Amino acid sequence: MCIVRVHHHAEEFLSATEGSERTVLTVGTFDGVHEGHRAVIRQVQEVAERLNATTTLLSFHPHPRVVLDPEHHGLKLLNTLSERQALLAEAGLDHLVLQPFTKELSHKSPWEYAKSLLGDCIRPVAVVIGDDHRFGRHRSGDFGTLKTLGEAFGFEVVALETQTVDDVRVSSTKVRQALAQGNVQEANHWLGAQYPTTGLVVQGKALGRTLGYPTANLHVEDDLKLLPAKGVYAVWCQLPDSTWHPAMANVGVRPTIDDTEIPSLEVHVIGQQGDWYGERLTIHWVAWMRGEVKFAGTEELKIALHSDLEKAQALLNANPRTA
């Protein structure tokens, strides 16, 4: 099992490594840890191998937008912090520095930023970064600025190669847009894996049980976690005993039997029933099957659910679970 060593401040990295570890650094949120991010990590690993060094990602938590505009940031993220850490570990990253983002940090000049985080604490032998990278107060530092600072603080600056999939530049924004349209298959293509969501099983109205399709109501504890568009999906579901099972999930307001204004996430695990209240279930989104529909009554809804189940099984047979 791969493990990434997490440091909750740049100074913590310095103390943990006693200032003696040679490391190659990159900087970013890496939300989703998509195919482009994985390619970046591979490039960082190549530079690290050349320089006999480890690999490190400097990221900021909470997200800068949440700190700088707490009331109107409108931010939705692909990963919770724990999901991101697991994906980075899987990609083979050695160190993750989660630097607390503050307004004070945002006011630092490029020189102050580089000195306090890189020169004084992480002390990289190289920084691998995109030529469009901006940092420091008013985003005034650029690639050229960093190269000059590298000469002062003793690190090489390496330009990132453009990362593409099918000749399209991959970005977290593209993944979010696909999910917002319910296109989880396209999102999974960019991610290189099935999109994950973990939720705490909470008490519901047990309406699905009366229809012959019992569901677990999931509360996603991170408010910033992005859910796909409203609709019915084929998914894989991991139960508390760590086993995975075919399932179908609904995101929405259940217009036929409930018609609430508050969207919910519920999952029917095919062929499985259990008392999972207070436990966490993880789902991997595979394919959108249909939008939310207000049926004429419960009998019509039952017919639709039976059709959904058959379609979900066929889709999941064709799309095995991926990590």
Q: Domains in the chain and their CATH numbers?
A: 5-168 (3.40.50.620), 195-318 (2.40.30.30)
**Closest by Cα among 197, 187, 184, 193 to 282:** 197
pLDDT in tens, 294-318: 776 778 888 888 999 999 999 999 9
Task: Check residue 263 and give its pLDDT.
Answer: 79
Provide the whole-model pTM.
0.90
Task: Check residue 260 and give its pLDDT.
Answer: 61
pLDDT in tens, 49-76: 999 999 999 999 999 999 999 998 999 9
Ranges of the chain with pLDDT below 50: none
* 232: β partners: 250, 290
**Closest by Cα among 258, 99, 38 to 108:** 99
